[in-house]
Structure 1
Amino acid sequence: MVSNRALDPRGLGAIAAAAGLIAAGAVIVWALRHGFYGTTLFASLSAVWLTTLLWWNASEPRNAAIVAPAAGDEDREEEGVMLRMLLDQAPGALLAVEGTRVRALNRAARSLFATDDLVLPAPAALLSDDVARLRHDGRSWRIDRVAVQGSAAPRTLVALIDVEAAEHAAEARATRDLLRVLGHEVMNAMAPIASLAETALAVMAVPERRDRLLPEILGTLARRADGLRRFSEAYRQVARLPEPTLAPVPVADLFADLARLFDAQWQGGARLDIADPGDLIAPLDRGQIVQAMLALLNNGVEAALASDPPPLVRLSATASTDRLTFHVADDGPGVDAVHRASIFLPFFTTKADGNGIGLAAARQVAQGHGGDVILRAGRPTTFDLSVPL
């Protein structure tokens, strides 16, 4: 009985420290995304402390508690209390899975599943190592797992990350960016229109100036109004993208479509090198993905126009267990570091005749499929469009 009592706090400390590491990691990711750098620092220091505690707990001889049970038990009990307090403050739900039993480890988990200990009934998604998402209480949660080594029975620590909260935060940032750019563009268009209208009213009162200046003023007004109309059409292209209709699509057929459309658009003025995708098949909205990929290919051609003609763009695809990724690479000069954070904003462009729609629309299509578009670091300039399989 003495040895069992001495060993219990040690195992509890290891489990609590591992769960605390998961919580600290979740807090660090959440704080970095939202710019809470003080919280990030605190969580990082907590992670370092917990890692040190785990190392000390693993490296200490197992019979130390038996040799000196009195002092060791007291210290470990205090550590256990501190770790349980830290777990309770973690914003994400933490659980322990042992066979078919699921236990809530902290306050967030107890509140989410309305339990003091066991989660009944145990959600099937938590019991299967192959499931990465949990739908519970009307929300979507990502499941992060860590297997506990050295326990008598298989045991897994689980952290639930609120996916919808992260998505809502990303949508809010995107909306703010869109409204900022939209306001800037509309003001740029309306200011000269208002000024020209005032000038037209002024020259109407002076006959000798009216006949000479009015046609020029009205022509400029018409051109500015047409520019505002084209901007509005581009805005609708981004704002009204329908939900994707998914169907199995062989990637080889998709690449054949892109090759024909590319040749029809550039008519020998640019080259497209396509790597054989093999027999890859993915659930896609074929029309939307073709639109997004053409935008990336055209962006690559326009970027590579500065190189030796004709510009060359390379298209390939790779697949992992759960994702399909399209790669579009060009030999252009690359994206300036100061612009990397803005290239996916609607209407942002560094081209004299660009409208800033292509990359934004491509990312919106990818995100509608549950994926994303990213710009890789380094050369050649490569955009990756990924979608779930």
Structure 2
Amino acid sequence: MASSSVRTALPGQLLLFGCGAATVAAWTGGFYACFVLVLLLGFWLASLALARAMPLHLPAERQVAAPDGETDRAVLRAVLDQAPTPLLSVERSGRVRALNRAARMLFDIEDALIDVPEALRESAPRLRYAGRAYRIDRIEAHGAGAARTILALIDIESEERLAEARTTRELLDVLSHEVMNALTPIASLADSALATLDDTPPPVAHLRDMLGTLSRRADGLLHFTQAYRQLARLPEPVLAPTTLAVLFDDLRRMFAARWGGRVAFVADGPPDGMVFIDRDQISQALWALLQNGAEAAVAATDAPQVRLSAKLDDRLSICVADNGPGVPDEGRARIFRPFYTTKKEGSGIGLSLARQIARAHGGDLSLLPGKDTAFELALPRHGRNADGMHAAKPAADPIPGK
């Protein structure tokens, strides 16, 4: 391209130079050359005009024509359709549209969703749809004069199955350990009782003691089985609007009825505002924390105290703390494990059940770091559970019998 442009411009430049040189030679050649001078001068001026009229072609950078808007959109659609993750757009009006092939196939639509799951309209962290679990990642997008939210549905079904398998394995380990601990002395006592019957006369008092022990061990195994059923059959939370003041008042009355003046109950004034929770289940979880705190404080100090406090912003955080001996380092890793307990008469399901309730609400229960014992129950303020769904019912009365 460059060499051909130079070749095109070169003849005009040589012609211009030759005419100029001939004109100078004629000027210096004398009177007879004047006629030639005039001719050459005219020819030089014509050549100059011709040279100026001939464009000097210089190499130009290659230019690529920009695709129009329709081509841009077609390319973008093709790229999005290759993504395996369902992508959705939530407009300010609430309309939800599928952005790629994966989303259209998941919801069996061509463009906009008709029956939109509530988890997509709100800020729920998860969605369960068509038998699979998805994590919802959100990006706020602003452009073309309108704000919208882009949703990416990340399939976490395999992750949940792995977590479920791990939990099942741990639970089976606990069950086998507890059942074996209960059955081993029962079998041993039964063999001893049978052997004692062969004595003449049989020692009735000794048999009575062995049978009493057998009965107590069987009762312990029954109690363990009932506790397991309670943990395994926790119903889904049914959410309803309530205030923290109502929740705290219920717990204060229950605590006074159970502990009287033996343990000081300090409740910091709960913040104002409405929350969406299953009040029965959250009361049950907090009651387990208050009971544990009171029992630990009574055993460790002459001035036992349990404190209940809460913070409310975009999330609800309820803290239960006591002035007991604290949780040793070796127990912190196992404290939420089903049936783990350090109390002689404990079932080991209170904290595990409380955490299960919190997670069913889309929150969590954690033991805060530090020397003192303090548990934090953190929940979404607007009541989304782990699957991003919610329901409503009239506010429940205080826990029956309390």
Mark yes or no: TM-score above 0.5: yes
Report how many aligned residue pairs link the two structures. Answer: 315
Q: Deviations over 1:237-293 (max 9, x none)?
A: 323333334332221011111111111111212111111113332233333222211
Correspondence 1:373 to 2:365:
yes
Label 1:165 to 1:329 Cα distance change in 2 as closer, same or farther (>3 A).
Answer: farther
- Name the SS of the counterpart of 1:276 in structure 2: coil
Residue in 2 that maps onto 1:31: none
Q: How far apart are 1:193 and its partner, in Å?
A: 0.6
Q: Deviations over 1:287-314 (max 9, x none)?
A: 3222211101111223334553222221
The letter of the residue matching 1:291 is: Q
Q: Deviations over 1:6-54 (max 9, x none)?
A: xxxxxxxxx9xxxxxxxxxxxxxxxxxxxxxxxxxxxxxxxxxxxxxxx
- Name the SS of the counterpart of 1:373 in structure 2: strand
Match of 1:213 among 196, 206, 209: 206
Q: Distance in 1 between matches of 2:233 and 2:343?
A: 24
Pairs within 5 Å for 1:308-347 = 308-321=301-314, 323-347=315-339
Residue in 2 that maps onto 1:385: 377
Residue in 1 that maps onto 2:247: 254
Tell me, yes or no, if the aligned pair for 1:96 and 1:158 is still in contact at 8 Å: yes
TM-score scaled by length of structure 1: 0.65
Structure 1 stretches lacking a partner, 5+ long? 6-14, 16-80
Pairs within 5 Å for 1:1-389 = 2=64, 4=66, 92-93=85-86, 112=106, 120-121=111-112, 131-132=123-124, 136-147=129-140, 158-162=151-155, 166-208=159-201, 210-211=203-204, 213-305=206-298, 307-321=300-314, 323-388=315-380, 389=382
**Bigger helix share:** 1
Label 1:282 to 1:261 Cα distance change in 2 as closer, same or farther (>3 A).
Answer: same
TM-score scaled by length of structure 2: 0.63
Label 1:232 to 1:122 Cα distance change in 2 as closer, same or farther (>3 A).
Answer: closer
Tell me, yes or no, if the aligned pair for 2:107 and 2:113 is still in contact at 8 Å: no
Q: How far apart are 1:195 and its partner, in Å?
A: 0.9
Structure 2 stretches lacking a partner, 5+ long? 1-62, 68-75, 383-402
Tell me, yes or no, if the aligned pair for 1:312 and 1:330 is still in contact at 8 Å: yes
Label 1:137 to 1:235 Cα distance change in 2 as closer, same or farther (>3 A).
Answer: closer
**Cα RMSD for the two superposed structures:** 4.2
The letter of the residue matching 2:252 is: A
Q: Distance in 2 between matches of 1:334 and 1:3?
A: 72
Q: How far apart are 1:194 and its partner, in Å?
A: 0.7
Q: How far apart are 1:315 and its partner, in Å?
A: 0.7
- Name the SS of the counterpart of 1:350 in structure 2: coil
Identity, in percent, stands at 50
Larger Rg: 2
Q: Distance in 1 between matches of 2:121 and 2:64?
A: 36
Tell me, yes or no, if the aligned pair for 1:330 and 1:380 is still in contact at 8 Å: yes
Residue in 1 that maps onto 2:19: none
Label 1:263 to 1:168 Cα distance change in 2 as closer, same or farther (>3 A).
Answer: farther
Q: Distance in 2 between matches of 1:271 and 1:280?
A: 27
Label 1:163 to 1:308 Cα distance change in 2 as closer, same or farther (>3 A).
Answer: same
Residue in 1 that maps onto 2:14: none
The letter of the residue matching 1:331 is: N
